[in-house]
Chains A and B, each alone.
Chain A
Amino acid sequence: MKNVLIVAAREFRQIASMRSFWLTLLIMPLSIAAGAVAPQLFDKDQADRVMIIDRTGGSEAQALGQRFKLDEARDKLSALSRYVQRHHLERADPAALWAQHDRWYSDADVARFVAEGGPAAAKAKIARVKAEDTPEFTPPEPDFELVPVPASLAKVPDAQLDRALKPVLKPTDKDAKAVDYIILIPASFGESPLVRLWANKQPSQQFVGIVQDVLTRGLRTRFLAAQGVSPDAAESASTIAPTLAISTPPPGGGAREAMLVRSILPLAAAYLLMISLMLSGSWMLQGTVEERSNKLLETVLACVSPQELMYGKLLGTAGVGLFMIAVWVGCGIFAGYATHGAIADLIRPALDPLTSPGTILALIYFFVVGYVTIAIMFLAIGAMSDSMRDAQGYLMPVLLLILLPITILMQAVLGGNNGGVLMEVLTWVPIWTPFAVLARLGLGIPTWEVVGTGILLAAFTAAEMVLLGRLFRASLLAQGQRPNVREVISRMRAVPS
């Protein structure tokens, strides 16, 4: 056993001394962090400045302004709801709109939120129950900011506006703030549907949508009034819209989003198993090929038995793989608790399955046994190869055989599928069992299936240890051409004397 540990420690050190190991170790958390932070980088940090020249008397400009304010308040209410949910602050006012999550806030809801005092009133209530280390709620920046029309511009005739607006959209003075959008609603609005929009960039879909929506209502009101309908009735008619009562099941009730969040940890385990196996397995393969090509084996075998060498290598490589995963998981947990943003939102619900000891056991069992099952294949390939080129010849078909079905499986699980013939086949064929069971743990897999596949996997791994162990032993000092299939089988059948 001592020699196994010495060999394992050397393998670990050898891999840990490689630059590629540390790069790989860092790339994973960095790329995940970049993925979480990137959307924030794309967020606008300043509201678009909007100027409305309304020649109709100001009613349309007022309607647009109200709509901008309403959308801004809706964004604040949604953000507040997410903040309250994340920090479990519902008890501040269980009846408040912001304590009701996973719902769409209607215009009436938003109006009520504003009437009740908006974010300021909510923050005051929350402050009474909030823990000291819980961060303050920061409302999102508004998307649009209305700027008043300067008197000088208001007097400019419509025909001369093109020239007059140029310095407003692109001011030459560095300190002057540019206006992003300028809307002209002509005095003839109603008789003619024409409205002009100047922009200092490609107008956003959101902005054009809002303007279109509000002004369509204005046009309809004017049209109905022209038809003799009373102004109040015309106004009401233009705002008639169905009230959608939107309800979503509570988390855990089967909605796809909730299901994906719950299954992310086992699925992530399957991904991590695959990635760490591929990386550490190929490093181990490289090490074994090096021992063969550098003619080191005889010296080593004079001190340790082939079994000790094999177990040491497996242990060392498993150590590398588990170390990588421990670092990644550690980074994840750190991110989950140190940040209060998107990463925490993703990770915290994902830790839910860890409340079940059975799930934890299954996760660990299939992860570790799965690791050994696949790693020993890499080891046997390394023992048969005199060079990395030789090894690639064996490795490619083995990798394709393992990885192609797994990729399909992952896609299926991400799509919420947890059944079907393919899923069952992948679950019960031992080389795919660890990935399939890990991926399905979050979606729910019958206990009998977990136990059955677990026993089958253990039996398969034991048989693999015996057969590939013989192949490893027989191949270590074998020389000559790459063994063909018949030779490989004969080495597996050869019982060591």
Chain B
Amino acid sequence: MSVLTLERVSKRFDQTIAVDDLSFSVEQGTVFGFLGGNGAGKTTSLRMVLDIIRPTSGKIEVLGRPPGRENAADIGFLPEERGLYRQMTALDTIAYFGRLKGMTAADAKLEGAALLDRFGLAASTKQTVDKLSKGMAQKVQLATALVNRPRLLILDEPFSGLDPVNQGLLEDEIRRISAGGSTVVFSTHVMQHAERLCDWLLLLGRGRKMFEGTLDDARAQLPARLALVAKNDPSRLPGVESAEDHGEAEPGWRRWDVRLEPGVEPGHVLEQCVAEQFPLRRFEQVHASLHDVFVHIVGTPETEQ
């Protein structure tokens, strides 16, 4: 069942096209990674999903309905630029956002207190935000997004600015929510987080969709590579595009970084080695990183815009 669908959505600001003919859908229960460099159109797309801005053209459906505040009760949102009311207490802040999402004051306070307890802030519920450390405030911000136990959690660059402890906490929360059957959509330009968390990926470049699929699908976009330790140069083997000598492994044996021709399976090369009695001491398939895939498809994340 699709939780979020975008059909041919575009957004134009004056002469700039921020999102260009974007279509995708997110299935319930998945962790959906929305990847792209700065200015790729990630935040604009998410703001359209939340009805903070309206698309120039195209259609969006959120939880079976058009975007709007009536969806707020089922959505949790953590924006990239985060802030809190400095003079409000941690618990009141969470309860306030809970109420704006349709919860009763009592439920919002109860859930807020439970979240603060889970995040190790039980002693700070009555403290005003300006007296909390940055790390504590980050946890409170996360709690404002989770207070209504959302069916769809939207996180815009959630890991930016977080300390390592809170990064781990957020990863755990994403896994917890996904395990509970909710859907998580998060944008990032840090590929390691997406690699660890996402079931489904969408790569965005200059407002356009460049790739959509699983992590394995993404890796398959790059030619397979092998790490070999062999006596002879493997570049003459059938299916090998190039081989780079990485020096001596032991006397008489050398390390090779082998790039295969597109579509060639590593198993096929191994068969050839056996058939031709090509001496080998190591034969290992090297998986491409998401970063490599991203650079291959979009360009470097930092320079993509």
Known: A294-B85, A300-B100. A477 touches B52 (CB 8 A): yes
Q: Are B83 and A296 in contact, with the CB atoms below 8 A?
A: yes
Which residues of A have CB within 8 Å of B184? none
0/1 string, A272-307, CB within 8 A of B gives 1: 000000000000000000110111101111111100
Q: 8 Å CB contacts to B: which residues of A1-26?
A: 3, 6-7, 10, 14, 17-18
Interface string of B40-82 (1 = CB under 8 A from A): 0000000100101110000000000000010010010111011
- Contact between B75 and A302 (Cβ–Cβ < 8 Å)? yes
A206 within 8 Å of B (CB atoms): no
What is the interface size of chain A, counting residues whose CB is below 8 A from a CB of the partner?
Answer: 25
Are the CB atoms of A303 and B85 closer together than 8 Å? no
Cβ–Cβ < 8 Å partners of A7 in chain B: 100
Contact, CB under 8 Å: B83 / A303: no
Cβ of A411 under 8 Å from chain B: no
Smallest CB separation, B243 vs chain A (Å): 51
Would B72 and A497 count as touching, CB distance under 8 A?
no
Whether the Cβ atoms of A299 and B85 lie closer than 8 Å is no
**Cβ B101 vs Cβ A301 within 8 A:** no
**Contact residue among A18, A299, A308, A497 (Cβ-Cβ distance under 8 Å from B54):** A497
Whether B87 lies near A298 (C-beta < 8 A) is no
Decide if B86 is an interface residue (CB 8 Å cutoff).
yes
User: Does B288 lie at the interface of the complex (its beta carbon under 8 Å from any beta carbon of A)?
Assistant: no
- Across-interface contacts of A301 in B (CB, < 8 A): 50, 52
Residues of B within 8 A of A3 (CB): 69, 100
Residues A302 and B84 in contact, CB atoms below 8 Å apart: no
| Least distance between B212 CB and chain A CB atoms (Å) | 25
Alpha-carbon distance between A295 and B84 when the two chains are bound, in angstroms = 8
From the candidates A290, A298, A497, name the one contacting B86 in the complex (CB within 8 A): A290
B77, A299: Cβ atoms under 8 Å? yes
A18 — nearest CB in chain B belongs to which residue?
B87
Contact A296 B69 (CB under 8 A): no
Task: Give the residue name and chain of the B residue nearest to A17 (CB).
Answer: B87
B96 sits at the interface (CB 8 A): yes
Q: Are B87 and A299 in touch, CB under 8 angstroms?
A: no
Q: How far does the Cβ of A14 sit from chain B's closest Cβ, in whole Å?
A: 6
* Nearest CB of B to A476, in Å: 9
- The residue in chain A whose Cβ has the minimal distance to the Cβ of B43 is A298
Taking a contact as CB atoms under 8 Å apart, the answer to whether B52 and A299 are in contact is: no
Nearest neighbor of B50 in chain A, beta-carbon distance? A302
Question: Contact at A302–B87, with CB atoms within 8 Å?
Answer: no
Binding site for A on B (CB under 8 A): 47, 50, 52-54, 69, 72, 75, 77-79, 81-88, 96-97, 99-101, 141, 144
Hey, which bits of chain A sit against chain B, CB under 8 A?
A: 3, 6-7, 10, 14, 17-18, 290-291, 293-296, 298-305, 308, 477, 496-497
Q: A296-B84, A304-B100 are in contact. List 7 more A-B contacts (CB 8 A).
A: A14-B88, A298-B77, A299-B83, A301-B52, A303-B97, A477-B47, A497-B54
30 residue pairs A–B, Cβ–Cβ below 8 Å: A3-B69, A6-B99, A6-B100, A10-B96, A14-B85, A14-B88, A290-B86, A291-B83, A293-B83, A294-B83, A294-B84, A294-B85, A295-B79, A296-B83, A296-B85, A298-B52, A298-B77, A298-B79, A298-B81, A299-B77, A299-B78, A299-B79, A301-B50, A303-B72, A303-B100, A304-B72, A305-B69, A308-B69, A477-B52, A497-B54
Which A-B residue pairs are the 6 nearest by beta carbons? A294-B83, A303-B100, A295-B81, A298-B79, A295-B83, A296-B83
